[in-house]
Structure 1
Amino acid sequence: MLAAERGAAANTLAAYRRDLEGAEEIVGDIAAADRESLIRLTRAWSGLAPSSLARKSSALRQFFGFLVDEGWRKDDPSSALPRPVTRRPLPRLLTHAEIEALFACAESEAESGRAEAVRMLALLELLYGSGLRASELVSLPLAAVPRDAPFVTVTGKGGQARMVPVGRRAGQALRQWLELRPDGGKFLFPSRGKHLSRIRLFQLLKDLAVRAGIAPEKVSPHVLRHAFATHLLEGGADLRVLQTLLGHADIATTQIYTHVDTARLVALVNERHPLARRAHAD
């Protein structure tokens, strides 16, 4: 149902499967679970973070709702599951200086003309310059990169396609990579007969961060996507435009970046206001 009716992505399907199988390990057959079983399950989950607890509970609620809709159960015991109050965490960010350090390192290495270095620069440009998700980036087909238009066609969550602009810098890096890219395969970033994996992309970024003098735990594909969104908003981008660029189905997801910008403004006042400087002097 998730795949056929909702068009859920493969990663979403895998996450739901893990949550349901994990619950079955504790209470047995989930499809036959009653309220007492779910109360026992909740106790077993007591040490989880609120966000993890909310996700697992949501998966089970949707599962029981599906069973009722299909007529496989007459009752829905999911009211026994917890509803933790969660706050969407502010995304981790890189400063402009850290972004510049990453690019300086990647550009310097790409000057060698080595295929791996040029590929790294192209990956970095698309993560920060176009705000692609890691899964969207590594699975880009070669056909998604037109030769005569500054856009790539991206298939995002739920199989939704969108056009993402590619800046001049990213376009130049892509052209360099296409000249060095191994022949064959349908993916823009091929690897072992398929495409570069998300895990490998994660590792490549960590390694680049170390060479650029940045703590590797601060850098990931999603952090660069957050930096793309936050820095665009700082530059005056409209929230609706940002929603389209990021491929968010709901603008409420995009609004997290307004909180990031607000936090930055508060920090700016605390650091730069004359009264703040006076307090430091005291």
Structure 2
Amino acid sequence: MSQIDDFLAMLAAERGAARNTILAYGRDLEQADDMVGGALESASPAQLARLGQGWASLAPATLARKVSSLRQFFGFLVDEGVREDDPTHALPRPATRRPLPKILSHEDIAALFERAETEASSGEKLAVRMLALLELLYGSGLRATELVSLPVSAVPRDAPFLTVTGKGGQTRMVPVSQRAKAAMSAWLPLRDADSAWLFPSRTGHLTRVRLFQLLKALAARADLPPEKLSPHVLRHAFATHLLEGGADLRALQTLLGHADISTTQIYTHVDAARLVKLVNERHPLARHRASD
């Protein structure tokens, strides 16, 4: 096997990378191998710099993917002791625009909850769990990993907050709505009482992959396109709909657990129409003209 094959095998075995991801990385690395004349694993910084020059006409997103493939490949070689140096400092640093998040309308959310609430009213265990998951994703803006890894100890008794451990091990307090609290109260007596997790599974806690599957199945039952729904999309809906309701961007940063306000500012693009209306209605000059 070549070093490229070894790297792709590691992606599949240790990182659980999707087949399409592995295929894309393989194409990028094989192309780079051809461009440097073979033996990519031995390429010098000068050769990688020429690679970047050859990719100058590519779209920023494509260039970013190729650079990422090479950075991970050479990082793997260093970790495996195949190389002592990492030559990827010679690669370009493409600036990519952060894509706008997918948006769920208020009507989409209403349809989703109507279906989940109807199913949960039966008292069936998995339906009650689904409603609790949905309430916490949309009502508190949790990340998928934060949600599935919630311990039972994080559930509030009196205070209306969850204690969540987010990226980088940072802990934050997340408000829990009355609706979400009611959904959790219905779920708690049904869960496995011996588990330390709020949403247990046979081997630990519910996985991110299973959460994705459950949401897409719920979307289909609610007559929504399954590809339109994911935990991240519900988190975006939480943020966008809060902004529409007049939430402060700094408060939203705290709720989402963003370390940098620039990450939160993407939502100002989503809600641009409301911001224009706000300036037209609330700016002092607008009020002055209205009184003339």
Shorter-chain TM range is 0.7 to 0.9
8 Å CA contact retained: 2:144, 2:208 = yes
User: 1:162 & 1:29 partners in 2: Cα distance?
Assistant: 48
* Partner SS for 2:189: helix
User: Hey, what does 2:272 align to over in structure 1?
Assistant: 262
User: 2:144 & 2:59 partners in 1: Cα distance?
Assistant: 25
1:231 aligns with 2:237: no
Q: With CA pairs under 8 Å and 6+ residues apart, which has the higher RCO, 1 or 2?
A: 1
After superposition, the C-alpha distances for 1:175-210 in whole angstroms (9 at most, x for unaligned) are 110011122222111112211111111111111111
Q: How does 1:106-117 map to 2 (within 5 A)?
A: 106-117=116-127
Deviation, 1:166, is 0.5
Closer/same/farther in 2, CA of residues 103 and 82 from structure 1, 3 Å limit = same
8 Å CA contact retained: 1:50, 1:84 = yes
Q: How does 1:125-144 map to 2 (within 5 A)?
A: 125-144=135-154
8 Å CA contact retained: 2:29, 2:69 = no
The structure with the larger Rg is 2
* Partner SS for 1:180: coil
Cα RMSD of the aligned pairs, angstroms, is 3.4
* Partner SS for 1:154: strand
User: Hey, what does 2:89 align to over in structure 1?
Assistant: 78
Q: How many residue pairs align between the two structures?
A: 245
Instruction: Name structure 1 gaps, 5 residues minimum.
Output: 1-12, 268-282
Deviation, 1:54, is 2.6
* Partner SS for 2:173: strand
User: Hey, what does 1:179 align to over in structure 2?
Assistant: 189
**TM-score normalised according to structure 1 size:** 0.75
8 Å CA contact retained: 1:128, 1:228 = yes
From 131, 145, 164, give the equivalent of 1:154: 164
User: 1:198 & 1:49 partners in 2: Cα distance?
Assistant: 31
Closer/same/farther in 2, CA of residues 116 and 47 from structure 1, 3 Å limit = farther
The one-letter code matched in structure 2 to 1:244 is T
From 173, 193, 207, give the equivalent of 1:197: 207
Q: Percent identity?
A: 66
8 Å CA contact retained: 1:150, 1:166 = yes
8 Å CA contact retained: 1:60, 1:78 = no
Closer/same/farther in 2, CA of residues 173 and 44 from structure 1, 3 Å limit = farther
Closer/same/farther in 2, CA of residues 263 and 220 from structure 1, 3 Å limit = farther
User: Hey, what does 1:104 align to over in structure 2?
Assistant: 114
**TM-score normalised according to structure 2 size:** 0.72
User: 1:29 & 1:169 partners in 2: Cα distance?
Assistant: 59
The one-letter code matched in structure 1 to 2:186 is Q
From 159, 178, 183, give the equivalent of 1:168: 178
Closer/same/farther in 2, CA of residues 244 and 60 from structure 1, 3 Å limit = farther
User: Hey, what does 1:122 align to over in structure 2?
Assistant: 132
User: 1:169 & 1:39 partners in 2: Cα distance?
Assistant: 56
8 Å CA contact retained: 1:115, 1:180 = yes
The one-letter code matched in structure 2 to 1:120 is M
8 Å CA contact retained: 1:207, 1:216 = yes
